[in-house]
Each structure stands twice: as C-alpha cells, then as structure tokens.
Amino acid sequence: MNTDVCNQLIELNRQFYQTFAADFSATRQRLQPGVRQILEQVLLTLPPSAGLLDLGCGNGELQRALQRGGFKGFYVGLDFSPGLLQFTSSQDSRAQFIQADLSTPGWDEDLPGAPFQAICAFAALHHLPGQALRQRTIQTVARLLAPAGCFIHSQWQFLNSPRLRQRIQDWAEIGLTSDQLEADDYLLDWRAGGRGLRYVHHFSPPELEALALENGFEIRQVFYADGAQGNLALYQVWQLKESSIV
C-alpha cells in the first residue's frame, strides 16, 4: 500500500474515534461474548505475577472486568484515542493506561510490565492499513511477549452480516479508488450520533495463519462468537514458540 494512502486511512480512523468517542464508548459497556470466554478461560487463569498488555483498550471495560474477576497481575492498556481513554477508570495501582498509536514507530518503547505473559488485541488489528504495518505490529507483539507467551485477538467478521454489509461505502467518499487499496480492505460508515467513516480490513483464517507462522507463533485456539448468529468476530489464541527469534 502506498504510504500516503496508508497515512490517510490512519488519520481517518484517528478522527473517527476522537469525534465519536462518547457514542462508541456507549456501545461498549459490556464485554462481547467471545471476550468473556477468553476472560474466563485464559486471562483469569494467569498467575499473579503475570503482565497483561491490552492493545486498543478503548474505554477500559476489559480492565474493569479483570478487576471484578480478581485478576492479580499487572495490566497495561494502550489506545490511540484520548477521547476513549477518558472513559477508563481504575483505582488499581497495578493498572495503567497509556495513549499510544500502533501505527507510530516506538509505541512499544519503555512499556511498564514488559515482557508480558499475554497480549490482547480485541477488534484492533483490523484498523491497521496495509500488510506491511500489520506484519510490523505482529513482530513487535512477539518481541514484547515472555517465552511461550500468548497473543489473543479478535477480528471483525462483518461480511457475515447482511445488515453490516450495507454499511460498506465507496472509496470515492474519501477520494480513493479501489486499486489504491489492498485485498479485503473496506470503508464502513457509522450512524450513531452522526455519520462517520472507518477503515476496516477483513481478515481471513488463511491470512491470520500465515501471520502467525511467519512470526513464530502456534495457533492454539480458534472460534467464532458475538452477534445474533455467533459469527461476527473471529477469535484466535496464539502461543509464542520458545525457540522463536523475531
């Protein structure tokens, strides 16, 4: 993807999550079913010494659920939207929220708690435009993980919903043409509190499998969840191979 196009899409999403921070946060007052499953099966079973990094933490709902569940480890939440971060709240000295943008080099420097036993990215990676940027991000995740650490993520599967398919907009709305984008890139609109536009990449299982293998991960768990039909998000748990050097 052309650098200028990549930067345009990054800025589009930055503006969206700042402009509609309150409206978006209002739709994220409880965890999705798939996240709850991960919480119970994986995150709340981590040892008390564990460090957990939450990429795209939004309004901090995952941290609040962890605290309610008795999580004893150290939590770090990152998000690029100051508008969303203003809705985070924690009296836990073992939790910290940081404004950081995954598309900006150096976002991983001097993170408290590193290396982490687990890193989460729920509904975050699909907002990173371009294969090159997504590859660099996964490489960084691998470097931040402790040996045999887990990377847990979800990807929006909006094409499974006829209603959400209607949200797909023409690239001409932002002055682009389809040949400037990569395969499975989409422009979707938002209709709560006004009209907005977001860039979203629709991940496929083979694409995710390739990313995992290229970066020293083994895929430990795969499942679909969320939405009325239970198929609006694809969840995967990757484990870093102890011998991996990324």
Strand intervals (E) in 26-166: 51-55, 74-79, 95-99, 116-122, 145-156
Q: C-alpha distances in angstroms, 186 versus 3, 111, 157, 159, 222? A: 17, 32, 12, 10, 24
Query: Tell me, what's the pLDDT at 244?
Result: 55
State how far the Cα of 153 lies from the Cα of 134, in Å rounded to an integer.
Answer: 13
Q: Is 149 in contact with 50 (CB distance < 8 Å)?
A: no
Q: What is the mean pLDDT of residues 2-16?
A: 96
Q: Report yes or no on whether pTM surpasses 0.85.
A: yes
Angle (nearest 5°) at CA 244 between 241 and 246:
130
Contacts 24+ apart (CB under 8 A), 68-72: 69/39, 69/40, 69/43, 69/44, 70/44, 71/43, 71/44, 71/46, 72/48
Query: Tell me, what's the pLDDT at 245?
Result: 46
Mean pLDDT score across all residues of the chain = 93
- Is the preceding peptide bond at 115 cis, omega within 30 degrees of 0? yes
Q: What is the mean pLDDT of residues 16-25?
A: 86
- What backbone torsions phi and psi does residue 23 show, to the nearest 5 degrees? -65, -40
Q: What is the mean pLDDT of residues 159-169?
A: 96
Q: C-alpha distances in angstroms, 65 versus 4, 40, 82, 125? A: 39, 10, 21, 22
Query: Tell me, what's the pLDDT at 246?
Result: 44
Chain segment 174-188, per-residue pLDDT in tens: 999 999 999 999 999
Query: Tell me, what's the pLDDT at 110?
Result: 87
What is the C-alpha R_g of the chain? 17
Chain segment 218-232, per-residue pLDDT in tens: 999 999 999 999 999
- Report the CATH number of the 3-240 domain: 3.40.50.150
